[in-house]
Structure 1
Amino acid sequence: MDKWLSHPTAMKILSVVLALLLWAVVHIDTDSSPQTVTSSIDTKTIEAAKINIEGLDADKFALTAMEPTVVRIDVQGKLTDLLSASSIDDYKVIVDVKDVKPGIQELPLVVKLPKGIQLVAMSPRTVTVQLEEIVTKTFDLQVVAEGKPAEGFVAGEPAAVTLSTEAAGPGIEVTLPKDDMQRVGSVVASVNIEGADKTVTDKKAKVVVYDTDGLEMTNAIVDPGTVMVEVKVTPPFKKVPLQVRYTGTLPDGFSIESIKPEIEEVTVYGDQQTIDALTVFDGVVFDLSKVKASGTFKVKTQLIDGIKSVDPSEISISVFVDPTVTRTFTGMAINMEGLAEGLTAVVRTPVSGKYDLTVSGAESILSKVEANQITITASLAGLGPGVHTIPLDVVLPAYVQTVAADGQPLSVTIEIVDDGSIGAGTGVETPPDETGTTPTVTPPATPDPGSGNGNAGGNAANSSE
């Protein structure tokens, strides 16, 4: 090898090769060499970028129409930036409706892009919007029961008992565009009672707005959006007049000035046949012996045959009492009824043929009683000739009682004679004022507590209802 390198020809060849290499290094053009690095810029197309609304005063206006709702955008940027902004939500297309007046208008679109990405193209670049003024109005809520209760039960009127949220005022507030508000037909909450056998309570119901054609207005904003409703599901029921029955007597020295239940009707529940036949409810019995002074007394209702429940179950009765006073009406006519044909009756005792009647009651009541408000009747039905002691039937105004001497029943002595024997030596004459007929005074159908009755001779509250 050393011999080869030391050979003159070899040295010459090596020198030429080195020279060529040095020349190539010095004269080669690096700018003319092929590009070996790939570009980092890329493009991206978003076919349906959503148009967002900004600047809308939702308290005054509603966006009722917008065309189009999406746009096509072309963007470019570094591949790394495009990859990091992969979601469509990163590309925001905005229309600003601030200070826009109601009506239809064409507005420009603005694009907000992620950092490092630029817009190349957008189609379209404008959007047409329609704004309408919105209004709020209060409506009455209709609660509707859907379905049927269990067999043998009936449903009452459904009602909203509480609101699930606090509204600004009574009723339901509905917010709609002004033109739509004119089409509101009803505001309804529905509750299902299918198969129910007891009252449906605390049932949450959605409030729905319907137009005049019965279609739901889905763009309506309602406050409150839900309500709590109740539907009474009961046996058949009926409202009937209340008739209070009385028992016992007031303490000595007191008389009733007025007595009145707080209500005049009650609702009774029972089988259909029973309530159909019922005309009055008398299942309230008030014991007068419990009254020691004026006041309000509570009395439980009592169930009668066929009645399952009564509403209300307790009645308040207001009672006013005053010290008892007496008053005597003198020369009262005695009406005789039921005398058989061909007979004549003559009052023998009292000899005057008239009756002096003493009555008792509260002073405020007795001071207003007139004689023509009192009727005294003697029944002669079925009696033949002879002398008879006849008990008197006395009809008095409410809260007035008869007072009998020595506690004896009120009565008169009447002689009945055969008309054929008159003038035939009997010496019996018929006073002209004792042959009159029954007066046209009709006793009350249901006497009040304290109405007098001469047959009893005492406190007539025992027979009052």
Structure 2
Amino acid sequence: MDKWLNHPTALKIISLLLAVLLWAVVHIDPETSPQTATSSTDTKIIEAISIMPVGLDTERFTLTAMEPTVARLVVEGRITHLFAASNDQYIVNVDLSNVKPGIHELPLTVKLPKGIQKVELSPQLVTVRVEEIVTKDYDVQVITQGSPVEGLVVGTPAVMSEGGSKVKVTLPSDDMSQVGSVVANVDISGADKTVVNKKAKVVVYDTQGNEMSGAVVVPDSIHVEVPVTWPNKQVPIQIRYSGTLPEGMSIVSVKPEVNQTTVYADKAELDNITIFDGYVVDLSKIKQSGTYKVKAAAVDGVKSVSPAEISVQVNVESSITKTMSALPIHLQGTSKGTDVKIVSPASGRMDLIVSGSESALAELKASNIQITANIDDLDAGTHTLPLEVELPPHVFPVSSSEQQLTVVVEVMAQETPGSGNGEETDDQEVIGRPEEEESPPPDDSNGEGEP
């Protein structure tokens, strides 16, 4: 061996080999080395990456179904690149930009991080269902839940929102046909007065009563007022008066703007109310014909009234007087005697001076006037009784020293058993002069005085 190594040719060959090895170490790039490239590259598998739809015109269409919804993705790249990329950088899309309503099979596309390549995508195609979006107007139905304080009742709810009860409901065309109701629920549990400006969410239900959570509602809530009141009913209005008109004036007519009003009371009281006479016209404030505001006064048993104020058209004229002659006086009731007669006026008739407007007095007849005296429970003897005069509206008796609205009657003593002819006499009701047959009143044209 030593002999071979000492040979000049052998030394030359060994020197050449060493030179080649040194050159290779200096000039060969590690990155291009097959051994180094193989060791720095790897693959990655993402088993369930979500498929993202893109490009859909969401104002006109909606994606109602997609199968499958995830894909399996295999990629490769340098180990450093694979480690640097997060899973949300791997994107699988389906392009819906040119899709019309219906069922379609579309290809998937992939977006990957820099330096990483797709090896495999499964599936390559996805099935989608696209439907047209439909918007329709609906009236919201307000439904109350719970009960108010005992004794109170719930009225008809009212929508107070600016747009009223109308809302717009947006759904896929196939779902729109399943809409059963559009509802706003309002809780009134324990309410003791009207629920005002209550905000209520609008909910869409299908025909089976299930909430359609996918429905888009505009506006999604409304403001509601729910009347919570005492029981109520409508009754006719009867105008009352206070004070007196200025001297020389008389009422021709009084007409309220409404003929009925709503009264509120507990049920027992409400059943007994047939009219409302709480609107009182103060005659002392009437200076001329015109429209006057009249507020409702308190009335026993009535909790409140609606409207609380009404307008009344009052027409007035100059007042005149008129004498109605020989009007009969009627006695009403039962005395303690057997017979009652009118002593003064002896005829049982009287002249009555009345005042009113010219138009009211022009239509006044004797048959429109009732003059009565009450003889209930009168003992035997002579009695002076006040007269009650019933006249048509806006006609009044004149009260003066010349016209005393009284009558003098005489009550005969009741006979005791065994006296007289021995017959008992029952108490009786006496009207007019019992001992005379009442004669008919004189003709109005001759029996009435001039105004």
TM-score (norm 2): 0.70
Amino acid corresponding to residue 217 of structure 2 in structure 1: V
Give the CA deviation at 1:207: 0.8
Contact 2:253 2:316 (8 Å CA) reproduced: no
Q: 1:184 to 1:48 in 2, by over 3 A?
A: same
1:116-169 Cα shifts (integer Å, max 9, x gaps): 43333222222222233332222221222222345x353523635544xx65x7
Give the CA deviation at 1:312: 4.5
Contact 1:331 1:356 (8 Å CA) reproduced: yes
Alignment of 1:98-117 (within 5 A): 98-100=98-100, 102-117=101-116
Q: 1:177 to 1:282 in 2, by over 3 A?
A: same
Residue 375 of structure 1 is aligned with which of 365, 369, 374?
369
**In the alignment, does 2:173 pair up with 1:203?**
no
Contact 2:280 2:294 (8 Å CA) reproduced: no
1:403-456 Cα shifts (integer Å, max 9, x gaps): 46755135789999xxxxxxxxxxxxx998x4459xxxxxxxxxxxxxxxxxxx
Aligned length: 403
Q: Which moved more, 1:391-400 or 1:125-134?
A: 391-400
Q: 1:53 to 1:159 in 2, by over 3 A?
A: farther
Q: 1:196 to 1:297 in 2, by over 3 A?
A: closer
Residue 157 of structure 2 is aligned with which of 153, 156, 159?
159
Amino acid corresponding to residue 214 of structure 1 in structure 2: G
Residue 302 of structure 1 is aligned with which of 289, 298, 301?
298
1:323 alignment partner in structure 2: 317
Give the CA deviation at 1:18: 5.8
Task: Give, in whole Å, the separation in 2 of the partners of 1:114 and 1:312.
Answer: 75
Please, which runs of 5 or more residues in structure 1 have no aligned partner? 1-8, 417-429, 438-465
Give the CA deviation at 1:393: 5.0
Amino acid corresponding to residue 46 of structure 1 in structure 2: I
1:131 alignment partner in structure 2: 130
Task: Give, in whole Å, the separation in 2 of the partners of 1:182 and 1:373.
Answer: 71
Secondary structure in 2 matching 1:189: strand
Contact 1:158 1:229 (8 Å CA) reproduced: no
Give the CA deviation at 1:214: 0.9
Amino acid corresponding to residue 175 of structure 2 in structure 1: D
Task: Give, in whole Å, the separation in 2 of the partners of 1:57 and 1:64.
Answer: 13
Task: Give, in whole Å, the separation in 2 of the partners of 1:104 and 1:329.
Answer: 98
Amino acid corresponding to residue 121 of structure 2 in structure 1: M
**In the alignment, does 2:175 pair up with 1:180?**
yes
Secondary structure in 2 matching 1:209: strand
1:440 alignment partner in structure 2: none
Secondary structure in 1 matching 2:36: coil
Contact 1:104 1:131 (8 Å CA) reproduced: yes
Secondary structure in 2 matching 1:108: strand
2:430 alignment partner in structure 1: none
**In the alignment, does 2:17 pair up with 1:24?**
yes
Alignment of 1:46-65 (within 5 A): 46-65=46-65
Secondary structure in 2 matching 1:292: coil
Contact 1:297 1:319 (8 Å CA) reproduced: no
Task: Give, in whole Å, the separation in 2 of the partners of 1:210 and 1:332.
Answer: 79
1:462 alignment partner in structure 2: none
Alignment of 1:63-78 (within 5 A): 63-78=63-78
Give the CA deviation at 1:206: 1.4
Task: Give, in whole Å, the separation in 1 of the partners of 2:364 and 2:294.
Answer: 34
Amino acid corresponding to residue 397 of structure 1 in structure 2: P
Secondary structure in 2 matching 1:37: helix
Contact 1:333 1:354 (8 Å CA) reproduced: yes
Give the CA deviation at 1:210: 0.9
Secondary structure in 1 matching 2:247: coil
Amino acid corresponding to residue 87 of structure 2 in structure 1: S
**In the alignment, does 2:110 pair up with 1:120?**
no
1:332-375 Cα shifts (integer Å, max 9, x gaps): 764756699x9999999798x987655433345445x2537623
2:232 alignment partner in structure 1: 238
1:287 alignment partner in structure 2: 282
Task: Give, in whole Å, the separation in 2 of the partners of 1:213 and 1:266.
Answer: 39
